[in-house]
Structure 1
Amino acid sequence: MAACEGRRSGALGSSQSDFLTPPVGGAPWAVATTVVMYPPPPPPPHRDFISVTLSFGENYDNSKSWRRRSCWRKWKQLSRLQRNMILFLLAFLLFCGLLFYINLADHWKALAFRLEEEQKMRPEIAGLKPANPPVLPAPQKADTDPENLPEISSQKTQRHIQRGPPHLQIRPPSQDLKDGTQEEATKRQEAPVDPRPEGDPQRTVISWRGAVIEPEQGTELPSRRAEVPTKPPLPPARTQGTPVHLNYRQKGVIDVFLHAWKGYRKFAWGHDELKPVSRSFSEWFGLGLTLIDALDTMWILGLRKEFEEARKWVSKKLHFEKDVDVNLFESTIRILGGLLSAYHLSGDSLFLRKAEDFGNRLMPAFRTPSKIPYSDVNIGTGVAHPPRWTSDSTVAEVTSIQLEFRELSRLTGDKKFQEAVEKVTQHIHGLSGKKDGLVPMFINTHSGLFTHLGVFTLGARADSYYEYLLKQWIQGGKQETQLLEDYVEAIEGVRTHLLRHSEPSKLTFVGELAHGRFSAKMDHLVCFLPGTLALGVYHGLPASHMELAQELMETCYQMNRQMETGLSPEIVHFNLYPQPGRRDVEVKPADRHNLLRPETVESLFYLYRVTGDRKYQDWGWEILQSFSRFTRVGSGGTTRLAWGWPSSRRPPP
């Protein structure tokens, strides 16, 4: 035992104290025995590579399955319906992207062109405020303020006889209402007045629309464009005559106007429109649209006091240095047209100066790649743009501003106004997409092409295109044969494609054509056509146009008469087939309102003046009575009729 202990101690070496020291929680002899009996394992064999483990997430479990699932394999695992839906969605997104890119490219191109043109034209347009003023002031020009110009002496007028058919004349009431009879007024034809001094070999006469017609033009060859004459001298201002012997109908018309004017003057003076029911006002452009539009009416009615009060507002309050967008079409026919009419009737140069200023501010709208004007223009900054939701303009908007701009060129001697609008006329004349003279409703300002092809109407968005063709031809001295050809062709297109007869009364009406399908829908706006046709016959067009005018006038009258209120709805539908118990005219619930539109009564005026038939006077008087009964508001003004058609309903007082 001792020997064994000695051998054991020799094998362990001399430091036996290590084994005599008990470790924590164990006996030294037990540990020694374990070490001796179980030697440590041999070292691992040498390897020629290094193993590296990469972690792909907190919960990585060393699975390699994700490496086997490629995108193609996932795609193949989808059902056929899922794959088709994904392919359809991708194709749709690609198509939308292409459309967006094309529109954006056109917009960028137009924007670059517009910016370039604005830089060129900005110094040319007086009164515009640049969006970014230059660092250095612009060179100052000589003072050309009309107020500082020497007064132009009044010229002695001379009367002479003009060849051809007599011109319709716009005269003060004292001339038309003499002896209280309309018949004598229509028989008298006042000779045009020559504003040039005696002895001037280049005398001109002013026609009923203010257009200058040279006496020798009747022997010239027809031209494609009316020449812009030099600026004529301003005539002296005229004074209103006092109407005498007014009959009861004339007094009734004046009473209706004064009632409406009272409401505007009290609740909306200087603002765009009166809201008679709420006794407040609304602003469209903030330029006093109602006041300017009523200037010529007040002059014709002989309302001297009201006219002078409105003139004072125009002189003191009407300024165009405003950062406001205006619609080119609406502002042209209301503001520019109103000022020019007031100038023609009164001879007051104030209105012409205002008209020229405003016309200059509208010119940036024509700075487009296609020369088709933008719909809106800022009269303060000179920045023009199409509508916010589209780059299209309506054909009526871009083709119903020519009369005013051409007349402004004639009066000022500045050709740019006429040249701008005649480029539009020439462009549309040569466009494809028409159907026997009928034009689509929309045109793109960037490309200059018709859009929404195949839809033809004489109602909203296209109506006044046809009206202005004839009136431009008359305004230009009947020399622009292209305008006459387009007008006559369009009337024949109406006969061929849009004219129908209703049942049971066989009323002649003008419908619409949409992609070859006829619709028996007729807007109240179409009632401009009878008067336009009669005006054309008055100036030498075929008598068949008068027959059509009288038939359509009867229809427009029945559109009023067959309603319980005696007022036409906005839109009617005609019955094409006989059905028991049904009338010729049917009205849908959404169309049962009247917006106080003037087309019917304007056509009645033309028909009476051309034919002398008093029934047209009587029809107009009936419609006026209905307006007074159902739209008159006690506090002043008239409101639209926007409910059903019971005759017992009236607007609130």
Structure 2
Amino acid sequence: MFLDCGRKLEKTHACTGRTCKLHAERSWEGQDANRGSSSCKRMYPPSRKDFISLTLSDPHSHAYNNGKHRRQSCWRKWKQLSRLQRSLILFLLALLLILGLLSYPSITEQWRGKQSPLDAQLTCTRSESVSNLHGAGFLEETQTSSFIIFRLFLFVVSTGPADRLEAVRDAFRHAWKGYKDHAWGHDELKPISKSFSEWFGLGLTLIDSLDTMWIMGLKEEFAEARRWVEKELSFDKNVDVNLFETTIRILGGLLSCYHLSGDQLFLEKAKDLGSRLMPAFKTPSKIPFSDVNIGKGTAHPPRWTSDSTVAEVTSIQLEFRELSRLTQEPQYQEVVNEVMKMVHTLPGKHDGLVPMFINTNSGQFTHKGVFTLGARADSYYEYLLKQWIQGGKTEDDLLEDYLQAIEGVKKHLVRKTGPNMLTFIGELSHNRFNAKMDHLVCFLPGTLALGAHNGLPGDHMDLAVQLMETCHQMYVQMETGLSPEIAHFSLQSSDGRDVVVKPADRHNLLRPETVESLFYMYRFTKDTKYRDWGWDILQNFNKYTKIPDGGYTSINNVRDPVNPGPRDKMESFFLGETLKYLYLLFSDDMKLLSLDKYIFNTEAHPLPIWPSPPK
């Protein structure tokens, strides 16, 4: 029983400022509770034990007020409970805390989603650093803890590397579930309509995902997919396929799986496919056609032009060269090396920059005067460097073309925004600069960092750091935290905003280029901010693109978090590239696909760096 004598004791006491309990074993009948103060009324018969709660506060403290009565009331109610009741409450609280801690890793990826069962909880993020953008007001998370507030208590949990790795695995399992349930053996999943779409009819998503499953240790999923490859995958089909896409996704995926698993099945399938792609090189110029019928053994350019894109014909070399090395059949390497020799000597370049199109009849560049590092040209620059590394850094023409191209980029395409001096890569059209940058260009920070790691000039790394920040801002300046397909940049400081997005460019296709570069940047710098940026991207994929029944979808509008406009399509590269690079970004095992031993093709399929130079 609590008695409040209604006044403050003016005395110095060892427990000043806290609540002291005095136990009385005798009855009170009008006596002074504080020996001389005003009397307190008797509340119970003499035989009842009573408890007196007195608050002795510091005379200089202002904390003693009406809150005292509330504290005493709560304490009174607590003491009125039986020992069994109090023990039961404490046990339930402890159990709830333990269950919350144990369940955290499995709910990490879902708690920000629309369908999350944790919507009733309050989540907040603590950012411990602010970016150095002058006046931008953008927050940049370097160390993040997630707070989960339940009704009865608060606890803090961190998202360490192990939790993030598991979150990526969970994302892959969720995407794979949708594919397995609704699109098994087909090219791509349509997660909203729970159906599929065909491009080549070759199980594109399945093959693109094989090495990702191996790397993540998803053994059951890998074994099931392997059985499909063994029993169902056949290239003896009357179907036209795109030479470039089939090479980087299917041929590259099969070669990568062979190296990772040692399973001869994948090499046999790769050899079969490679031989069926060879008719594409039967052209007057030796520049390959874009399309080939792998059943009939015929090839042709697109119906609307006799041109191929420069990226298509110069970004198949890693795979064909490796196929020759493994099979000891030189024809694959010979045809792709011939393409690179021709491009090396072609007129029409602009300080190492190449046009976007090349004619398969004449072997000459077309549509001259337009230069970009975006679509139709991007991976030309990537494969110059990677072929040089793959072959043991002995092919001087490749290195020369790469270094000259990067100098051309710095001279003609690099600019800074007006508002916050973000470095970006624009485009050049007949000497007119266009402040437009595709998300595809975000491959460049990783490529520059890879070159610097292999002994190329240090200012390449400086540019990589600056461009990585810009690619990050393409995400954080959008309301969904996801990048648009194409961004335009403000050159005038009066514009106020660095990134401007036109309505037709607001879609997001779950692309990998930014997380790819984050992986390279973290591997070479160990700066944890790159991991944090990747974690934010994964969380936003989960929030805005995840379909509850399985799969992820591309979206139409990164500027509208309320209605991002799902497109009902999950690209194969989301599993083959995006989630793979996120997994490698969060892995603490630096020997896992060491960048001193492996080179990644443009579809994120790792191939070994050759132990001896090419012949």
The TM-score with structure 1 as length reference comes to 0.62
For the pair 1:611 / 2:534, whether they are aligned, the reply is no
Which residue of structure 2 lines up, in the alignment, with residue 636 of structure 1? 550
For the residues of structure 2 that align with 1:595 and 1:253, how far apart are their CA atoms? 18
Q: Is the 8 A contact 2:478 2:558 kept in 1?
A: no
Unpaired stretches in structure 2, ≥5 consecutive residues: 1-104, 106-159, 569-615
For the residues of structure 1 that align with 2:190 and 2:441, how far apart are their CA atoms? 27
- After TM superposition, give the deviation of residue 589 of structure 1 in Å: 0.6
Larger radius of gyration: 1
- After TM superposition, give the deviation of residue 578 of structure 1 in Å: 1.3
For the pair 1:257 / 2:172, whether they are aligned, the reply is yes
Give 1:385's aligned amino acid.
H
5 Å-filtered alignment, 1:163-202, equals none
- After TM superposition, give the deviation of residue 579 of structure 1 in Å: 1.1
Deviations 1:110-169 (A, max 9, x none): xxxxxxxxxxxxxxxxxxxxxxxxxxxxxxxxxxxxxxxxxxxxxxxxxxxxxxxxxxxx
Give 2:420's aligned amino acid.
S
Which residue of structure 2 lines up, in the alignment, with residue 441 of structure 1? 356
Q: Secondary structure at the match of 1:579?
A: helix
Give 1:267's aligned amino acid.
H
For the pair 1:528 / 2:443, whether they are aligned, the reply is yes
Which residue of structure 1 lines up, in the alignment, with residue 559 of structure 2? 645
Change (3 A) 1:524 1:650: closer
Which residue of structure 2 lines up, in the alignment, with residue 377 of structure 1? 292
Which residue of structure 1 lines up, in the alignment, with residue 480 of structure 2? 565
Between the two proteins, the alignment pairs up a number of residues equal to 409
For the residues of structure 2 that align with 1:599 and 1:288, how far apart are their CA atoms? 23
Which residue of structure 2 lines up, in the alignment, with residue 576 of structure 1? 491
For the residues of structure 2 that align with 1:328 and 1:639, how far apart are their CA atoms? 26
For the pair 1:503 / 2:418, whether they are aligned, the reply is yes
- After TM superposition, give the deviation of residue 634 of structure 1 in Å: 1.1
Q: Is the 8 A contact 2:484 2:558 kept in 1?
A: no
Q: Is the 8 A contact 1:505 1:584 kept in 2?
A: yes
Which residue of structure 1 lines up, in the alignment, with residue 198 of structure 2? 283
For the residues of structure 1 that align with 2:242 and 2:528, how far apart are their CA atoms? 39
Q: Secondary structure at the match of 2:403?
A: helix
Give 1:645's aligned amino acid.
R
Q: Is the 8 A contact 2:448 2:461 kept in 1?
A: yes
Deviations 1:267-324 (A, max 9, x none): 0000000011111000000000000000000000000000000000000000111000
Q: Secondary structure at the match of 2:196?
A: strand
Deviations 1:332-388 (A, max 9, x none): 001000000111110101000000000000000000010000000000110100001
Change (3 A) 1:651 1:259: farther
Which residue of structure 1 lines up, in the alignment, with residue 469 of structure 2? 554
Give 2:431's aligned amino acid.
G
Q: Is the 8 A contact 2:507 2:554 kept in 1?
A: yes
Q: Secondary structure at the match of 1:622?
A: helix
For the residues of structure 2 that align with 1:255 and 1:427, how far apart are their CA atoms? 46
Equivalent position to 1:404, from 319, 325, 331 = 319
RMSD value, Cα: 1.4
Q: Is the 8 A contact 2:508 2:558 kept in 1?
A: no
5 Å-filtered alignment, 1:387-536, equals 387-536=302-451
Q: Is the 8 A contact 1:273 1:282 kept in 2?
A: yes
For the residues of structure 2 that align with 1:246 and 1:562, how far apart are their CA atoms? 26
For the residues of structure 2 that align with 1:419 and 1:492, how far apart are their CA atoms? 29
For the pair 1:627 / 2:541, whether they are aligned, the reply is yes
For the residues of structure 1 that align with 2:286 and 2:537, how far apart are their CA atoms? 41
Which residue of structure 2 lines up, in the alignment, with residue 590 of structure 1? 504
For the residues of structure 2 that align with 1:523 and 1:505, how far apart are their CA atoms? 20
For the residues of structure 2 that align with 1:421 and 1:569, how far apart are their CA atoms? 34
Deviations 1:206-233 (A, max 9, x none): xxxxxxxxxxxxxxxxxxxxxxxxxxxx
Deviations 1:66-122 (A, max 9, x none): xxxxxxxxxxxxxxxxxxxxxxxxxxxxxxxxxxxxxxxxxxxxxxxxxxxxxxxxx
Which residue of structure 2 lines up, in the alignment, with residue 540 of structure 1? 455
For the residues of structure 2 that align with 1:346 and 1:543, how far apart are their CA atoms? 36
- After TM superposition, give the deviation of residue 247 of structure 1 in Å: 1.2
For the residues of structure 2 that align with 1:402 and 1:381, how far apart are their CA atoms? 24
Q: Secondary structure at the match of 1:583?
A: coil
Give 2:471's aligned amino acid.
C
Q: Secondary structure at the match of 1:377?
A: strand
5 Å-filtered alignment, 1:303-322, equals 303-322=218-237
Q: Is the 8 A contact 2:557 2:565 kept in 1?
A: no
Q: Secondary structure at the match of 2:494?
A: coil
Q: Is the 8 A contact 2:481 2:558 kept in 1?
A: no
Which residue of structure 2 lines up, in the alignment, with residue 602 of structure 1? 516
- After TM superposition, give the deviation of residue 577 of structure 1 in Å: 1.0
Structure richer in strand, relative to its length: 2
- After TM superposition, give the deviation of residue 647 of structure 1 in Å: 2.2
For the residues of structure 2 that align with 1:476 and 1:439, how far apart are their CA atoms? 23
Structure richer in helix, relative to its length: 1
- After TM superposition, give the deviation of residue 412 of structure 1 in Å: 0.5
Q: Is the 8 A contact 1:630 1:651 kept in 2?
A: no
For the residues of structure 2 that align with 1:334 and 1:328, how far apart are their CA atoms? 10
Q: Is the 8 A contact 1:442 1:452 kept in 2?
A: yes
For the residues of structure 1 that align with 2:199 and 2:419, how far apart are their CA atoms? 44
Deviations 1:156-207 (A, max 9, x none): xxxxxxxxxxxxxxxxxxxxxxxx9xxxxxxxxxxxxxxxxxxxxxxxxxxx
Equivalent position to 1:270, from 158, 161, 185 = 185
Unpaired stretches in structure 1, ≥5 consecutive residues: 1-179, 181-244
5 Å-filtered alignment, 1:279-358, equals 279-358=194-273
Deviations 1:536-557 (A, max 9, x none): 1111111110000000000000
Change (3 A) 1:493 1:246: closer
Q: Is the 8 A contact 2:556 2:565 kept in 1?
A: no
The TM-score with structure 2 as length reference comes to 0.66
For the residues of structure 1 that align with 2:499 and 2:559, how far apart are their CA atoms? 14
- After TM superposition, give the deviation of residue 651 of structure 1 in Å: 6.3
Give 2:330's aligned amino acid.
K
Give 1:375's aligned amino acid.
S
For the residues of structure 2 that align with 1:411 and 1:509, how far apart are their CA atoms? 40
- After TM superposition, give the deviation of residue 643 of structure 1 in Å: 2.9
- After TM superposition, give the deviation of residue 646 of structure 1 in Å: 2.3
- After TM superposition, give the deviation of residue 650 of structure 1 in Å: 5.7
For the pair 1:360 / 2:270, whether they are aligned, the reply is no
For the residues of structure 2 that align with 1:467 and 1:613, how far apart are their CA atoms? 23
- After TM superposition, give the deviation of residue 529 of structure 1 in Å: 0.2
Q: Secondary structure at the match of 2:346?
A: coil
5 Å-filtered alignment, 1:61-80, equals none
Q: Secondary structure at the match of 2:493?
A: coil
Give 1:641's aligned amino acid.
I
Identical-pair percentage? 71
- After TM superposition, give the deviation of residue 644 of structure 1 in Å: 5.3
Q: Secondary structure at the match of 1:443?
A: strand
